[in-house]
Chain A
Amino acid sequence: MHTLHAGNNVVKDCCDIHTPAATTPCLHFQFCILHYDDHVATTLTIADVERIAALAQLELTEEEKHLFTKQLADILHYAEQVQAIDTSGVPPTDHVNSDQRTEREDEPRPSLSTEEAIANAPDGAPDAGLFRVPRVIGG
């Protein structure tokens, strides 16, 4: 059912979300992907990417920042189609078995020894039973 697009404007029906009158950026779904590149993607700047990378504790290279700015904008733009769906009064599903009761007595059970738990640490201190890390504050 999808056919023609011109820039941001849907010239003809592209999918069941859009009508010829639509002037918003096309939020068409999966099989319209051939026309996807015709559209202006969600605005995302290098500064946005740097902010997200800092939240995610990722130190990206300049090349990665540029690549992700484009790719994440493309993906987010594609994902914006969900925003057109009427979900008023619809509860979220964060988990399909969430009505299952899982409470139990909080009692000690066998678990890993300290030695086993530290064995894979890149800088373990087995004698002290600790993980060693670089300085946290000061310098």
Chain B
Amino acid sequence: MNVLGATATSIRDDVAAGRVSAADACRTALDRIAAVGGALNAFNLVDADRALRRAQEIDRRRAAGEALGPLAGVPIALKDNMNVRGMKTTASSRILEDFVPPYDATAVRRLEAAGAIIVAKTNCDEFAMGSSNENSAFGPVRNPWALDRIPGGSSGGSAAAVAARCVPLALGSDTGGSIRQPAACCGVVGLKPSYGRVSRYGLLAFASSLDQIGPFARTVADAALAMSVLAGADPCDATTAREPVPDFAAALMGNVKGIRIGVPRAFVTEGVDDQVRRAYEGALDTLRADGATLVDIDLPHAKYAVPVYYLVCTAEASSNLARYDGVKYGYRSPAAKDSLKEMYSRTRDEGFGPEVKRRIMLGTYVLSAGYYDAFYLKALQVRTLLRRDYDAAFERADVVAMPTMPTPPFKLGEKASDPLQMYLSDIFTVSANLAGLPGISVPCGFSSDGLPIGFQLMGRMFDEATILRVADKYERATDWHTRAPSL
């Protein structure tokens, strides 16, 4: 069988049935990473020995007749901002270049308990701050569909790894679109779960009220499979939800009859690229033809989501990143030996990249005396209004559909010197994080240049099942997800 390009579900089934060994599936992934990883700059670390040892252990257990987990033998890549004990976590930052975590993230522990084989850590924007993956201290990731284009950010390496058929599954983290937006840019599926659905323990904190871990996959079924493993309460993360976790795979029932899809027409207006708009309208037409009903909804505060998001996330980041001070772990400036205070500030200036500093500065400003009420508190109030918009929308609709990104993936360097322009590309993704809602990006077309376009489905709180169901039905009706970049 052809393991390269196989889905996680089929690898799992083939390993379980003995048609392919976990070790062979692992070697196929490692060979593909060796072949294309350099051109994409998608990987910060590949641990072939550890991966092969674990794959052989899966094969041994199968031979011994032991029970195998739901991801047994499936090669997987992790964004390099989540911890695997003994394997470097850098967050693509100089300040953590040599950090070796002493514990596993809960998501990692769950994956490995399910039999998944971690083969690599993927490049990302530094501390997950970015929309293009150009903020990595280790250089930008390139889009597998066009090497001069961004792969999206901040989980660009994970999206590129799945799109380039290096691995069938990868994890990313999504604070303002960092799973969904690169999924759209790279032509794969990306799911941000509801806030609290997946434990953040062992994920390096960026903005704690917004961060969520979620999967990249090439099919909706694989994303559902990964979610069944990842989701659930965790005593190590007090923000995880006690909500029961449904069987996400069972939700993919292959029909959307009676589903009401909310369409925020007034929000999806100017600034949206014509080709993106056509692909989005096409996706809506497909779902309507399949039996869904389109209903107009209004999200009057959605247009404020970008400023609200950048006020909230930078405030939280300025607090979270205070821990990187050259004392407990990571880089310490050799230049300041005589004063603790100077050691802190030199270490942080030399260790952090420009975007991280910009966000720490902005967050410090909006939390500072005299500006707190006008910026931070105001943003939290508008966040409430935005949540109310969605509460009202979900009384009329079961899911809300919009483009994932207003344009196809832009050229590397195109927006690098203008942070505000870069922030605006998050307009359709940040709302889900502010409101805590689940969102999934699904491929829905290509631009005239052959660049992937995605559209997004958002669901009610903890209703990943319905967005997976609708996304899966759309995928069955189209063939966008079957196309592969010629890499």
**Residues of chain A having any CB pair with chain B under 8 Å:** 1-2, 29-31, 33, 36, 48-49, 52-61, 64, 67-68, 71-72, 74-76, 78-79, 81-83, 85, 87, 90-97, 100, 102, 104, 112, 116-117, 119-123, 131, 133-136, 139
Contact = CB atoms under 8 A, between A and B. Distances in A.
A59 B345 contact: yes
Given A78-B420, A134-B340, A52 B365 contact: yes
Interface stretch (B149-157, B377-385, B397-405): B377-385
Contact of A55 (B270, B364, B383, B421): B364
Nearest to B338: A134
A6 B331 CA distance: 49
Contact of A30 (B303, B339, B349, B368): B303
B306 interface: yes
B485 interface: no
Interface in B345-393: 345-346, 348-349, 352, 354, 357-358, 360-362, 364-365, 368, 374-375, 377-385, 387
B307 A82 contact: yes
Nearest to A54: B345
B385 A96 contact: no
B392 to A, nearest CB: 15
B306 A30 contact: yes
Nearest to A123: B332
A116 B343 contact: no
A64 B357 CA distance: 9
Contact of B310 (A36, A79, A100): A79
A119 B365 contact: no
Contacts, number: 189
Chain B interface main SS type: helix
B239 interface: yes
B65 to A, nearest CB: 33
Contacts of A72: 358, 361-362, 365
Interface residues of B, number: 79
Nearest to B377: A92
B102 interface: yes
Interface of B: 98-100, 102-103, 195-196, 209, 235, 238-239, 241-242, 269-271, 301, 303-304, 306-308, 310-311, 318, 322, 325-332, 336-346, 348-349, 352, 354, 357-358, 360-362, 364-365, 368, 374-375, 377-385, 387, 419-421, 423-424, 427, 434-436, 461
Q: Most A CB atoms within 10 A — which of B238, B311, B358, B361? A: B361
Contacts of A117: 102, 328
A30 B137 CA distance: 29
Contact of B424 (A33, A52, A83, A97): A33
A93 B303 contact: no
A78 B307 contact: yes
Nearest to B312: A94
Contacts of A116: 102
A10 B311 CA distance: 25
A41 B166 CA distance: 46
A85 B382 contact: yes
B200 to A, nearest CB: 12
A96 B387 contact: yes
B365 A135 contact: no
Q: Most A CB atoms within 10 A — which of B310, B336, B345? A: B345
A59 B348 contact: yes
A81 B271 CA distance: 18
For the complex of A and B, list the 8 residue pairs with the smallest distance between their C-beta atoms, beginning with the closest: A96-B436, A92-B380, A31-B271, A120-B329, A122-B332, A59-B345, A87-B381, A102-B238
Contacts of B241: 97, 100
A119 B218 CA distance: 39
A92 B362 contact: no
Q: Most B CB atoms within 10 A — which of A31, A57, A112, A119? A: A57
Nearest to B209: A95
Contacts of B304: 29, 81-82, 85
